[in-house]
Amino acid sequence: MTLDKRFFLDVRRSATGIAWEHRLNERQEMAALAIAQGHGTGDLLARVLAGRGVTSDSTGRFLDPTIRDLLPDPASLTDMEAAADRIARAVLRREKVAIFGDYDVDGAASSALLRRYLAHYGVSADIYIPDRIFEGYGPNPDAMRELVARGASLIVTVDCGTNSAASIEAAKAAGADVVVLDHHQVGGPLPAATAVVNPNRNDDLSGQGHLCAAGVTFLALVQTAKLLRAHNTGTAAPNLLSMLDLVALATVCDVVPLVGVNRAFVVKGLIAIRQQNNPGLAALARVSRIGEPVNAFHLAFLIGPRINAGGRIGDAALGSRLLATDEQTEADAIAETLNRLNQERQAMEQEMLAEARAEADAELLGGAGPGVLVTASERWHPGIVGLLASRLKDHARRPSFAIAFNANGVGTGSGRSVSGFDLGRLVREAAAEGLIVKGGGHAMAAGITVERSKLGALRAFFEAKAASEVMRLRDEESLKIDAALSADGATQDLLDALERAGPYGAGHPAPVLVLPRHRLADARLIGTNHIRADLKSESGGRIQAIAFRADGTDLGQFLIKHRGATVHVAGALSGNYWNGARNVQFRIIDAAPA
C-alpha cells in the first residue's frame, strides 16, 4: 500500500476488500472550485467534472458535446480517402455490394448503418454475418467467394477484416474489391485490400483509436457523402445524424472509451433513439419493457444483450436484420425471437456460472489463488464463455478465462481482464509459445482456441508470466470516491445535474459517492440475487438503495450482517421509474463499517 494515498473516511479495507481513495488531487480540487464559481454548476457536479479532467475553460463544451465540434476529419484516418472513393463509385455505378460483419452488437450496428446508407441510393447490399460456432470471427475464404458468386463486386468488412489477409485475397482472386472498416488491434501483415481503415493500425496518426467499428463506419460515410456531393446522384443525401442511434448503440455496447467524439455520438444518438425512427430499436425497447426514456444503461444491459443473444445461441444475422429493416412487422417478429433467445441465454448462463464459480472458489480456497483464473468444461456453450469470464473476473478480481471444450478436445475460450493488465499481450505470447491454437484480443478482452492436452501448460505459463503483476495490481486496487453525500441531499435536481455530465461508461466513469454514517435500517434479498436496502441519515433523511447481484458476495453478506448498524455506503445515484414516476435511488457498490 503506497504511503501517498488519500484515504476517504480512512477506509483501508472495505466489504469488498479494497481501500477507498479520494479521486481528486489538489490540482483537481482547485479546478472544481473554478468550475463551480465560473459556471454555477454546484459543488458536487464541479467535482465530478474536475475528476474527469474537465477544466473551467472546457466545461461549457463538455456539458453540450456536439458532432460539429468534436467530429474528426475522416480523411485523417489512413486509407479513408481510398475507402470512401470506392464506396462512392459503387453508389454511382449501382454496384452489388456485400457487407461482411461481426456477430456482436458493433458488427450488427455497423452492417445496418452501411446498408441503410446504400439503400437510400437504391444500391443493393447483402449482409453476411458468420456463425460464431462453425465459422468463428471474421471473414473466411469460402464465405468471401460465396459473396462474389452472388454478384458482389465490392465487399466491405465491418468490425473485422484487419487480420484476414487470406480471406481478402480469396475475394480479390474471385473478382471483387474489398474495403475494410475495423478498429481491432493488428496481429500481423495488413491485407492487400483496396483500403484498410483502422485507427489502430500502426501507421494511422489520427488519434482516433478509441472509436468502435460503427464510429469508423460513420466517418467513412461522412467522407463518402463529401465525394458524392460533387456528383448528381439524382437522390438527396441521407441525414447521417439520424443514423447516430446505431453508432450510439455500438459505442456503448462495445465498451469503448466515452471520450471525444464517442461521447457526442452517444449523447446525440440517444436523442435519435428516443425518436423511435428505427423500427428494430423501437421493437427491442418494447420487448425489454423499458418504461422510461432510453439511456446508456438500457443500451448496455437490456438492448445490447438481446442483439448479442442471436450471435451467442441462435441465428447470428438476426441483430443486423433487425437494425436494418424498415418493416415494423418484421422488426417485431425478430425482436420477439431475440427476446426469447436472451431468456434462454440467461438460463444457460446461470447454470454455467454456478459451475464456474464453484470451480473458481476451489482454486481460490485458502490462499491468494492463481494470478489468472482459468476455468473449463465440456458442458458449457461456447457462445456464452465471454459472459462467464466477465462474471468470474468481477468475482475473483483478477483476469479470468472460461473455456468450452468440444468432443474433440478443442476448447473455445474467452478472457476478461482487470484495469492495468494487458490480456491481449499475454494471449499473443501464449500463441508465440505454441500453447494455444490461435488467439487474439486487446488489453481488456481476448479469445483463444486451445487443445485440452495443453491446458495445464497454459495455466502454468499464465502463472509464470502474470501472477506477480496481477497481485501487485490487486494490492494497489482502490475505489475512487468523488464526494460525500447525505440521503437528504439525494434529490431529483442533483440527479439531473449529474446526468448533464454523462453518459457514463468506459473511460468516463460514473460518479462514485459515499453516504457516510447512515443507518442500514433494512437489508433483504429481492428477485433472484439482488439486495434491497433502506438507508437513513443521522438527520432523518432516507433513501432506497439496491446492490445488484450481491447475494452470496462479500458485499451482500456485509449488508445482511450489518442490518440495523451504522455504516458507510459507496455507490451511485440513479433514477428508478415506477408507474410513470421517477424516484432517486442509490446503487450500492461497496460498504464499510462506520
The domain spanning residue 296 has which CATH number?
3.90.1640.30
Residues 140 and 240 in one domain: yes
Domain end residue (candidates: 326, 341, 356):
341
- In this structure, the dihedral spanned by the alpha carbons of residues 44, 48, 50 and 51, taken in order and rounded to 10 degrees, is 130
The reply to whether 284 and 137 lie within a common domain is yes
77 and 207, same domain (yes or no): yes
The answer to whether 100 touches 143, Cβ cutoff 8 Å, is: yes
Q: Check whether residue 333 and residue 206 sit in a common domain.
A: yes
Flag whether 287 is in a domain. Answer: yes
Residue 222 and residue 318 in one domain? yes
Give φ, ψ of 410 to 5 degrees: -105, 130
Query: Which of 425, 423, 420 has the alpha carbon at shortest distance from 478?
Result: 420
Residue from 384, 273, 286, 301 nearest 333 by CA: 286
What are the backbone angles phi and psi of residue 300, rounded to the nearest 5°? -75, -40
Residue 31 lies inside a defined structural domain of this protein: no
Q: What angle do CA 213, 341, 265 make, to 5 degrees?
A: 25
Identify whether 190 is part of a domain. Answer: yes
Same domain, 385 and 444: yes
Q: For residue 39, tell me if it sits in a domain.
A: no
CATH of the domain at 377: 3.10.310.30
CB 134 within 8 A of CB 77: no
241 and 127 together in one domain = yes
Plot region of 241 (φ>0 → left; ψ -120 to 50 → alpha; else → beta): alpha
Give the CATH number of the domain where residue 589 resides.
2.40.50.460
Domain range for residue 459? 366-477
Residue 291: what pLDDT? 85
In a domain, 347, yes or no: no
Count of structural domains within the chain: 3
Q: What is the model's pLDDT at position 581?
A: 79
- In a domain, residue 97? The reply is yes
Whether 263 is covered by a domain: the verdict is yes
594 residues of the chain, pLDDT tens digit each: 344 579 999 999 999 999 999 999 999 999 999 999 999 999 999 999 999 999 999 999 999 999 999 999 999 999 999 999 999 999 999 999 999 999 999 999 999 999 999 999 999 999 999 998 888 888 999 999 999 999 999 999 999 999 999 999 999 999 999 999 999 988 789 999 999 999 999 999 999 999 999 999 999 999 999 999 999 888 999 999 999 999 999 999 998 999 999 999 999 999 999 999 999 999 999 999 998 899 999 999 999 999 999 999 889 999 999 999 999 999 999 999 999 999 999 999 999 999 999 999 998 876 678 999 999 999 999 999 999 999 999 989 999 999 999 999 999 999 999 989 999 899 989 999 999 998 887 788 889 999 999 999 999 999 999 999 999 998 889 999 999 999 999 999 999 999 999 999 988 999 999 999 999 999 999 998 899 999 999 999 999 999 999 998 999 999 999 999 999 999 999 988 777 778 899 999 999 999
Name the domain boundary from 477, 503, 535: 477
**Within this chain, do residues 457 and 489 fall inside the same structural domain, yes or no?**
no
188/213 same-domain check: yes
- Residue 555 domain-assigned? yes
- Same domain assignment for residues 317 and 398: no
**179 plus 284 within the same structural domain:** yes
Residue 366 pLDDT: 67
Single pTM value for the model: 0.92
